[in-house]
């Protein structure tokens, strides 16, 4: 049982792909993702019909699209999880380059859909947000560079990865999309810390982030408005935060009942950024705690498996993906309860959104591929001289 959980399994050469995949995959993580997706469909049934009616669509228009995008995301997750770490890295590099170019051309060909930030490409039948696909690709590329920098005569991977990180953060800030910029910076910082960064340097980076926030507050009306709204003690009940706060308060422990919630009639983003408010109002604190537990299981199990991984690249990439996944969920829920300023960030596998669902499926597929059990000794064996 220990070998199945932590990765010290024997390599059965010639074994078919599917049995080998099923034997080595982290089934707990995969099951939690599937449960989150089902919860997302359930909440979509509750939250999206009012918006569909206002936009002239069938009542379950957004639920049907979420099921389609979610199905594609699950297929992408399963296919990616069957790949070897080397193949994942190669495809991630190609995906990162394509997403980086798409992000660079957003100011020219992108649109804001009336939301004040140019983050999407309009494809007619759907929209595409390059930053969602850029995140997993960047994590894998940065992990590759950081791991290579630790080899003898290796490239200056730390400097290159930092330069890439700053270039991406700069383009995201110009959109403006401070939430995704912070997430990219956090993912790189976590990997840099795991790779052995000195604490003084990390503290200096934290100070630079605070200074950057002060400059953004002084020069960006969009950023300043969100910070002011967050710091204001009185919540305007007619704003999205006001509606969400009231819905969470009304839900209590067990909720007001399925279909009885009112926040979905007032919140324009009830099916995306503030879907946790719909969950809290209709199903109560119980469902919210279940959702938090599912995200926690995914992150903790992944990190525990990665702690025993010998390969530095796999350990860094998996840690970056797991932490970014968990922090994105934390930010989304933190905004809804006013612990954080509004960020415009989806709840992974629960919120509606084609780009976020499919990109999330790819990211979790990469994480599952990196945490699969492989024929190796445990990291502790190396430290004790038995590797």
| pTM to 2 decimal places | 0.88
pLDDT in the model for residue 173: 86
Question: pLDDT tens for residues 196-220?
Answer: 877 777 777 778 777 877 877 777 7
**pLDDT beneath 70: ranges in the chain:** 1-14, 114, 222, 228-238, 376-387
Question: pLDDT tens for residues 323-338?
Answer: 999 999 999 998 888 8
pLDDT in the model for residue 2: 39
pLDDT in the model for residue 1: 38
pLDDT in the model for residue 7: 43
- Which residue ranges make up each domain of the chain? 2-378
pLDDT in the model for residue 136: 95
3-state secondary structure the chain: CHHHHHCECCCCCCCCHHHHHHHHCCHHHHHHHHHHHHHHHHHHHHHCHHHHHHCCCCCCHHHHHHHHHHHHHHHHHHHHHCCCHHHHHHHHHHHHHHHHHHHHCHHHHCECCCCCCCCEEECCCCEECHHHHHHHHHHHHHHHHHHHCCCCCCCCHHHHHHHHHHHHHHHHHHCCCHHHHHHHHHHHHHHHHHCCCCHHHHHHHHHHHHHHHHHHHHHCHHHHHHHHHHHCCCCCCCCHHHHHHHHHHHHCCCCCCCCCCCHHHCCCCCCCCCHHHHHHHHHHHHHHHHHHHHHHHHHHHHHHHHCCCCCHHHHHHHHHHHHHHHHHHHHHHHHHCCCCCCCCCCCCCCCCCHHHHHHHHHHHHHHHHHCCCECCCCHHHHHCCCC
pLDDT in the model for residue 341: 77
């Amino acid at each position: 049982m220990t070998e199945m959980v932590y990765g010290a399994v024997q390599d059965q050469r010639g074994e078919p792909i599917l049995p080998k995949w099923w034997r080595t995959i982290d089934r707990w993580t995969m099951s939690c993702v599937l449960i989150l997706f089902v919860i997302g469909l359930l909440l979509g049934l509750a939250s999206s019909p009012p918006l569909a009616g206002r936009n002239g669509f069938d009542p379950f228009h957004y639920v049907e699209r979420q099921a389609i995008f979610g199905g594609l995301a699950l297929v992408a997750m399963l296919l990616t999880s069957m790949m070897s770490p080397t193949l994942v890295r190669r495809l991630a590099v190609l995906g990162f380059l394509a997403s980086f170019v798409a992000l660079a051309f957003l100011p020219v060909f992108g649109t804001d859909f009336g939301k004040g930030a140019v983050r999407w490409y309009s494809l007619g039948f759907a929209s595409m947000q390059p930053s969602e696909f850029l995140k997993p690709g960047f994590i894998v590329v940065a992990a590759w560079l950081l791991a290579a920098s630790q080899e003898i005569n290796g490239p200056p991977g730390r400097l290159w990865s930092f330069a890439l990180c700053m270039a991406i953060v700069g383009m995201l800030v110009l959109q403006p999309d401070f939430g995704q910029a912070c997430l990219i910076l956090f993912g790189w910082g976590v990997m840099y810390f795991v790779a052995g960064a000195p604490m003084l340097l990390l503290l200096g980076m934290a100070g630079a982030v605070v200074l950057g926030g002060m400059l953004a507050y002084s020069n960006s009306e969009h950023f300043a408005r969100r910070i002011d709204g967050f710091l204001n003690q009185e919540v305007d009940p007619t704003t999205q935060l006001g509606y969400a706060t009231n819905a969470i308060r009304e839900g209590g422990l067990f909720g007001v009942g399925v279909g009885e919630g009112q926040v979905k009639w007032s919140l324009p983003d009830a099916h995306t950024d503030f879907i946790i408010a719909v969950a809290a109002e209709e199903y109560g604190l119980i469902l919210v705690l279940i959702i938090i537990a599912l995200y926690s299981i995914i992150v903790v199990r992944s990190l525990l498996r990665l702690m025993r991984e010998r390969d530095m690249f796999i350990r860094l990439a998996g840690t970056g993906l797991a932490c970014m996944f968990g922090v994105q969920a934390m930010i989304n829920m933190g905004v809804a309860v006013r612990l954080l300023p509004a960020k415009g960030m989806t709840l992974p596998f629960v919120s509606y959104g084609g780009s976020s669902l499919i990109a999330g499926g790819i990211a979790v597929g990469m994480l599952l591929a990196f945490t699969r059990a492989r024929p190796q000794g445990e990291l502790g064996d190396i430290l004790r001289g038995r590797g």
